[in-house]
Amino acid sequence: MLVVVLAQLACAAALPAAARRIGRGVWALAAVVLAASLAWLLTRTASVLDGGTYTETYAWAPTLGLEIAFRLDPLALLMALVVTGVGVCVMVYGAYYHHTGHGREAGLLLAFAAVMLGLVLADHLLLLYVFWELTSVASFLLIAGRREGGDRRRAAEQALLTTVAAGLAMLLGLVMLGQAAGTYRISALLADLPEPGPLVTSALVLILVGAFAKSAQFPLHAWLPAAMAAPTSVSAYLHAATMVKAGVYLVARLAPGFAETAPWRPLVLTVGLYTLVVGAWRALRETDMKRLLAYGTVSELGMMIALFGMGTRTAALAGAVLLLSHALFKGALFMVVGVVDHQTGTRDLRKLSGLGTALPVVAAVAVLACASMAKLPPTVGWIAQDGALEALLHGEVTGTAWAAAALCLGSVLTVTYTARFLQGGFGTKRDDRPPRPARPSHPVFLAPAAVLAVLGLAAGLAYPAVDALTAPYADLYPEPSGKPFHAALWHGWTAPLWLALLIVVLGLALHAARRPFSRLLGRLPRLPDAEWCYRRLMVALHHGAVVFTRRTQVGSLPLYLTAVLITAVVLPSIAVLHTLPPLGQVRAWWTTAELPLALTVLITAFGAAVIRHRLAAVLVTGAVGYAVAGLFVVQGAPDLALTQFLVESLTLVVVVLVLRRMPARFSPGSRTGVGRWARASLALLVGAFVAGFALTAQQGRENPGPAGDYLRRVGETGGNNVVNAIIVDFRALDTLGEIAVLMVTALGVISLIRLGTRTDTGPGSGPESWARPGEEEGPVPTAARWDEPREHWLPGSTDLLGAERSVLMEVVTRLLFPSILVVSLFLLLSGHYRPGGGFAGGLVAGQAFILRYVVAGAADVEHAAPVRPGHLIGSGLILAATTAIVPLAFGRPPLTSTLWTWNLPVLGEVKTASSLVFDVGVYLLILGVILTLLSAAGSSLRAPVPQLGTGPGTVGGRSR
User: Which conformational region is residue 192 in: left (phi greater than 0), alpha (psi within -120 to 50 degrees), or beta?
Assistant: beta
Judged by DSSP in three states, 772 sits in coil
d(CA 758, CA 769): 5
Radius of gyration of the chain (CA): 34
Torsion of CA 547, 552, 557, 559, to 10 degrees: 160
Q: Is the dihedral of CA 741, 743, 744, 750 positive or negative?
A: positive
CA atoms within 13 A on the CB side of 433: 16
d(CA 701, CA 684): 27
Q: Is the dihedral of CA 820, 825, 828, 833 positive or negative?
A: negative
What is the value of pTM for the model shown? 0.74
**Identity of the residue numbered 10:** A
Closest CA to 644 of 717, 728, 865, 634: 634
How many degrees, rounded to 5, is the angle at CA 69 between CA 67 and CA 72? 175
Torsion of CA 936, 937, 938, 940, to 10 degrees: 50
Beta strands in 535-658 (DSSP E): none
Provide the pairing of β-strand 66-72 with 899-904. unpaired
d(CA 382, CA 370): 12
Cβ density class 870-908: b for 16+ within 10 Å, e for less: bebbbbbbebbbebbbbbbeeeeebbbbeeeeeeeeeee
Q: What pLDDT does 776 receive?
A: 39
Provide the pairing of β-strand 899-904 with 908-913. antiparallel
Helix H or strand E segment including 71: strand 66-72
d(CA 284, CA 421): 9
Cβ within 8 Å of residue 305, ≥6 positions away:
211, 212, 215, 217, 247, 248, 251, 268, 271, 272, 275
State CA 501 to chain mean position distance: 46
Whole-Å CA distances, 526 to 285, 510, 520, 858 = 11, 20, 12, 64
How many degrees, rounded to 5, is the angle at CA 916 between CA 725 and CA 893? 70
Hey, how many other C-beta atoms are within 10 angstroms of the C-beta on 744? 10
Contact status, residue 19 vs residue 26, Cβ threshold 8 Å: yes
d(CA 768, CA 375): 64
Q: What pLDDT does 196 receive?
A: 86
Whole-Å CA distances, 920 to 719, 735, 875 = 16, 13, 10
Q: Is the dihedral of CA 217, 222, 227, 229 positive or negative?
A: positive
Hey, how many other C-beta atoms are within 10 angstroms of the C-beta on 923? 29
d(CA 211, CA 247): 4
Helix H or strand E segment including 160: helix 150-181
d(CA 869, CA 935): 9
Q: Is the dihedral of CA 569, 572, 573, 579 positive or negative?
A: negative
Hey, how many other C-beta atoms are within 10 angstroms of the C-beta on 460? 24
Contact status, residue 191 vs residue 123, Cβ threshold 8 Å: no
Running DSSP on this structure, what letter comes out for residue 728? I
Q: Which ranges of 806-914 would DSSP assign to H, the alpha helix? A: 807-830, 838-856, 858-864, 869-885
Running DSSP on this structure, what letter comes out for residue 532? H
Contact status, residue 394 vs residue 318, Cβ threshold 8 Å: no
d(CA 213, CA 741): 29
Tell the burial category of 366 from Cβ atoms under 10 Å away from its Cβ (0-12, 13-18, 19+).
Answer: buried
Q: What pLDDT does 933 receive?
A: 76
How many degrees, rounded to 5, is the angle at CA 69 between CA 257 and CA 183? 50
Q: Which long-range contacts (CB under 8 A, 24 or more apart) does 506-514 make?
A: 506/412, 506/415, 507/374, 507/411, 507/412, 507/413, 507/414, 507/415, 507/416, 507/418, 507/419, 508/415, 508/416, 508/419, 510/412, 510/413, 510/415, 510/416, 511/415, 511/416, 511/419, 511/420, 511/423, 514/420
Tell me the sheet residues that pair with 791.
none
Tell me the sheet residues that pair with 899.
913
Contact status, residue 261 vs residue 204, Cβ threshold 8 Å: yes
Q: What pLDDT does 959 receive?
A: 35
Kindly list the averaged pLDDT for each block of 10 residues, start to end, along the chain of length 960. 87 88 88 92 90 82 76 92 92 86 88 93 91 92 80 87 91 91 89 87 92 90 87 89 91 89 88 91 87 92 91 88 92 90 84 82 91 90 88 72 86 91 82 66 86 92 90 84 79 84 89 77 67 83 87 79 84 69 66 84 85 85 88 84 86 79 70 70 84 70 63 75 80 83 78 56 40 40 50 56 65 85 88 83 88 77 79 87 80 76 74 84 89 65 39 36
Q: Which ranges of 726-804 would DSSP assign to H, the alpha helix? A: 732-753
Contact status, residue 373 vs residue 381, Cβ threshold 8 Å: yes
Cβ within 8 Å of residue 804, ≥6 positions away:
941
Q: What pLDDT does 584 receive?
A: 60
As a residue count, the chain comes to 960
Hey, how many other C-beta atoms are within 10 angstroms of the C-beta on 787? 8
